[in-house]
Structure 1
Amino acid sequence: MAEVILTDVSKSFAADVALENVSMTVPNGSFVVLLGPTGAGKTTILRMVSGLDQPDQGAISIGGRDTAGLTPAQRDVAMVFQQYSLYPHLTVRQNLEFPLKSPILRTPQAEIDRKVGEVAEILQISHKLGNKATALSGGEMQRVSIGRALVRNPAVYLMDEPLSSLDAKLRSDLRIEIKSIQADSGATLLYVTHDQIEAMTMATHVGVLDNGKLVQFGSPREIYENPVSMYAASRLGQPRINLLPADVFAGAPHSATHIGLRPEQIVQGEGEESLVQRVEHLGDQTRLHLMFRSHNLITVTNSHTTLKRGDVVKIRPDKPFYFDANGARLA
């Protein structure tokens, strides 16, 4: 497995800037999630690491080796695309076997059978091994696509929103399995998503991207608890962070324009009155939708709360985040 280093990487497509001076180190054996909305530059990074695209400037190295001029095969990476890419005339088993039968790997048949069996069981497609790829559902096709990467032992795994086409139950199951596989194998994995739950539950490191710029890189907990900007703070956390005018509560720094309050930064039972607009019972927790001085707030409370719509609850901020007019975090 290998460390991946991007140094001042930039990429444009005609007049559109996809990446601008991105520098980032993906540590050996880490699970790095690139997080951001559509157009942030996440997939562009994957394509350049894989060799499908080349940077306009900057350098990319894998395992200490400069990738300039190397083909995707020479880089020893395995990529899972957002849209499944299978050989339609082959069975599921043959699709999974295909990477292992390349002249480069020369994998013995017994080892192929073992790896295919293990991966098929993990992905819950053992009963589909004899089916043609065209006989599968979209979710099953994506699982086979993931499996074709997992059967290999590359320097780096690259995954571009691989779970987006799956149902919620399977997506939750495979989050656990992919993370377990990565942790057990010590694989280096670079994973693209816009799903903050995937980022929080799977990643050892998160890279937050905005319009082609890397705005923060660190552990999920670090970014959640110590965001550098209003944008970074809004990318992680469920429910999303509450962003309000800074003067809605007393005590804001002079240069602050916004206050950021995560659910646990809102103390209930003391402070100023707010109106309960909606109560969502989610089993292990209850979300309160509040109206405070004409601003909407979401916080969480005890799962056995008796609060209901129309009740009044007192609230106050506890160690909130403050941001300036440019969205930068204030100390």
Structure 2
Amino acid sequence: MAEVEIGAVSKAFGKTQAVVDLSLTIGDGEFVALLGPTGAGKTTTLRLVAGLEAPDSGSVRIDGRDVTSDAPADRDVAFVFQQYSLYPHLTVFENMAFALRAPTRRLPEAEIRAKVGQVARLLHIEAKLHSKATQLSGGQMQRVAIGRALVRSPSIYLMDEPLSSLDAKLRGEMRLELKRIQIDLGATILYVTHDQTEAMTMASRIGVMEAGRLMQIGTPREIYENPVNSYVAARLGQPMINLLPAGLFAGAPSSAKTIGARTEHLAITRNGGDVSATVTRVEHLGDQSHLHLDLGGQPVVTLAESETTLDVGDVVSLRLNKPLFFDAAGRRVAA
């Protein structure tokens, strides 16, 4: 594995600025996730590291070597795409061994079999090695796609939303598998996702992107507890943070125009709180409930106990507990 440095990279497609002056270092053996909505520049960043796109400015260094002008084949990277991109007429073994038989990397057949077998065991697909790709389930195909990258042992793995096409149960299982494998191999991974759960549960650091810019980089806890602006605050948290006019509550800093209230920032009582709100909907989710409230015409969503007796039309009191504050431009304001 190796350290990867992205230095002040920018990339435009016509008049659209896809990546703007982005600098990021992925440490040796680190799992970094880029989080953001469609169009934030996440995939373009991956493609710039892979060499599939050339930057308009800036540089990419892998293991201390400037690879900005190198072809993809010379960068020692492995790319896992959102879709499986398997060869349907080949077996699982042949799909995984394909890159190891390339003219630039041809290994002895015994070594290829050993590598493929080892990775197949890691991914729990050793029983499928002689099956055609078309005979596999979606989860198995995704494991093969990941396995095809793992056998390469590259400097860095680039993963573009590899779990997004799986159902919720499989996605949860694969998150655990992928993190386990990353730790076991000490792999360096740059991972793109729009799913906050994937980012928070797998990554050692999260980079939040908006309109091609890296807004903040930090551990999941840092990003969640100390977002630099309201955009970053809204990327993490379930249910999503409530962004409310500062005038609804007393005690906000004078420069604050918006209060960011996560579920842990809101205490709900029948009376005795700072303000009153009306229950508009209760979503029972088994171990907890989402409580939808109307607070002076502003919608608020927070958590309640699973056995809550609150119902539509009930009036409750809310009290704030160390919320976040933002100015008119969305920048964080000190409490």
TM-score (norm: length of structure 2): 0.93
Structure 2: gaps (5+ residues)? none
SS at match of 2:145: helix
The whole-number CA distance in structure 1 between the counterparts of 2:285 and 2:109 is: 49
Match of 1:128 in 2: 128
How far, CA to CA, are the matches of 2:23 and 2:261 in structure 1? 30
2:284 corresponding residue in structure 1: 281
Shift of residue 123, structure 1, vs aligned partner: 4.0
Distance in 2 (CA, whole Å) between partners of 1:83 and 1:203 is 21
Letter paired with 1:95: N
Partner of 1:64: 64
Letter in 1 for 2:292: H
2:233 maps to 1:233: yes
Aligned partner of 1:94 in structure 2 is: 94
CA contact (8 A) 1:243 1:258 kept: yes
Deviates more, 1:137-146 or 1:37-46: 137-146
Q: Please give the alpha-carbon distance, in whole angstroms, between the structure 2 residues aligned to 1:92 and 1:160.
A: 21
Q: CA RMSD in A?
A: 1.8
Match of 1:305 in 2: 308
* Shift, 1:120, TM fit: 3.4
The aligned residue for residue 199 of structure 2 is 199
Correspondence list, 1:311-322, <5 A: 311-322=314-325
Q: CA deviation at 1:43?
A: 0.4
2:268 alignment partner in structure 1: 268
Deviations 1:157-211 (A, max 9, x none): 0000000111111110010111111112211100000001101111101111100
TM-score by length of 1: 0.94
Q: Identity of paired residues, percent? A: 60
- C-alpha spacing 1:300/1:111, structure 2 compared with 1 (3 Å): farther
1:46 equivalenced with 2:46 (yes/no): yes
Question: Aligned in 2, Cα 1:59/1:298: closer, same or farther, shift over 3 Å?
Answer: same
| Equivalent residue number for residue 77 of structure 2 | 77
| Pair 97,303 (structure 1): closer, same or farther in 2 beyond 3 Å | same
The count of corresponding residues between Structure 1 and Structure 2 is 331
> Which amino acid is the alignment partner of residue 51 of structure 1?
G
The letter for the 2-side match of 1:112 is I
Gapped regions of structure 1 (runs ≥ 5): none
Deviations along 1:213-268, one digit per CA (max 9) or x if unpaired, are 11101111101000000100011111111111111111122222211111111112
Structure-1 separation of matches of 2:132 and 2:151: 19
Letter in 1 for 2:294: M
Asked if the contact 1:9–1:20 (Cα under 8 Å) also holds between the matched residues in 2, the reply is yes
Contact 2:122 2:181 in 1 (8 A): no
For 1:245 and 1:226, locate their aligned partners in 2 and report how far apart those are by CA, in whole Å. Answer: 20
